[in-house]
Amino acid sequence: MIDPKAVRTDPDAMREAIRVRKVDPAKANVDRWLALDAARQKLQRNIDALNSEKKQLAQLGRNDPDAAREKGRELRERGRVLEHELGTVVAEWQGIMDWFPNWPHPDMPAGAGEEDNVEENAWIPGQGYLAAGKLGRGNTSAEYMPKRPLHAQDDAFEPLHHADLGVKLGGINTLQGGQVSGSRFAYLRGDVARMQYALSQLLIDELLARGYEMFVPPLLVRERSLYGTSHFPEGRDQVYAIKTDNVEEGAELFL
């Protein structure tokens, strides 16, 4: 979550983050947010001052009960107005802040897509890591990679794409997957299915060996949780909502 104080202190840094992260500046409107933030703080100060006045009514009540009751009614009405104004301001203030992106890491290079990804390391079996001078952006190191598997005995050997190889071996069924789920889906079967689970287990074992702790989170979460993970508001149309009366307070849960 973004600390409001950080935006208040350096709004230009947030404007730059919005530009770099390609967030709609009309929705993440920093100028409007700053105006609302000032209004929010002013309203809160007024409410605090009003509450201080309420505490002083006890002394007035001892000297003039009628005046104290009248003053109490006046303060309650002013309080209702201020609370309503504050609620309206905070709702818009929070709505804009929900669009503020997380701060980019200072070492993260900016780019438009995969072609701008910076290569950190490239490794060739039997040879080791490539020299830093052979790395670049995108797929620069590809020209130094073997054109065929090192164990291939025949120079005419042509490697297959993993999807084509899976179909040839009967381990990937894109036809049936497409009939059930549409294009770009597939069934995995036999050794290919086992390999997928084995790769997952390999990664789990590696992370556990490095001292990480394994968690299985709840499958369903409250709406606000997805704001905290930056899935909302922009990705709301990509998340399944579970609408049912059998949940706490009748609120939606999300998958």
Domain boundaries, the chain: 4-97, 159-216, 221-254
**pTM listed for this prediction:** 0.70
Decide: helix, strand or coil at residue 167: helix
Q: Return the structure tokens found at 185.
A: 């889906």
- The fold of the 4-97 domain, in CATH, is Helix Hairpins (1.10.287)
Q: Return the structure tokens found at 223.
A: 């709406």
pLDDT in tens, 77-113: 889 999 999 999 999 999 999 999 989 888 888 887 8
Long-range CB contacts for residues 217-226, cutoff 8 Å, separation at least 24? 219/255, 220/253, 220/254, 220/255, 221/253, 221/254, 222/251, 222/253, 222/254, 223/251, 223/252, 223/254, 226/254
Residue 155 one-letter amino acid: D
DSSP code, position 121: -
Please say if the pLDDT value at position 21 is more than 70. Answer: yes
pLDDT in tens, 157-196: 788 888 899 999 999 998 888 899 988 899 999 999 999 9
pLDDT in tens, 218-237: 888 888 888 878 788 888 88
DSSP per-residue codes, 23-90: --TTTS-HHHHHHHHHHHHHHHHHHHHHHHHHHTHHHHHHH-HHHHHHHHHHHHHHHHHHHHHHHHHH
Closest Cα partner for 167 from 152, 187, 148? 187
**Residue 83 to residue 196: CA distance in whole angstroms:** 56
The alpha carbon of residue 51 and the mean position of all alpha carbons in its chain are separated, in whole angstroms, by: 38
How far from 73 is each of 10, 226, 236, CA to CA, in Å? 42, 42, 44
DSSP code, position 136: -
Please say if the pLDDT value at position 116 is more than 80. Answer: yes
Question: In the chain, what percentage of residues exceed pLDDT 90?
Answer: 48
- In SS3 terms, 215-255 reads as CCCCCCEEHHHHHHCCCCCCCHHHCCEECCCCCHHHCCEEC
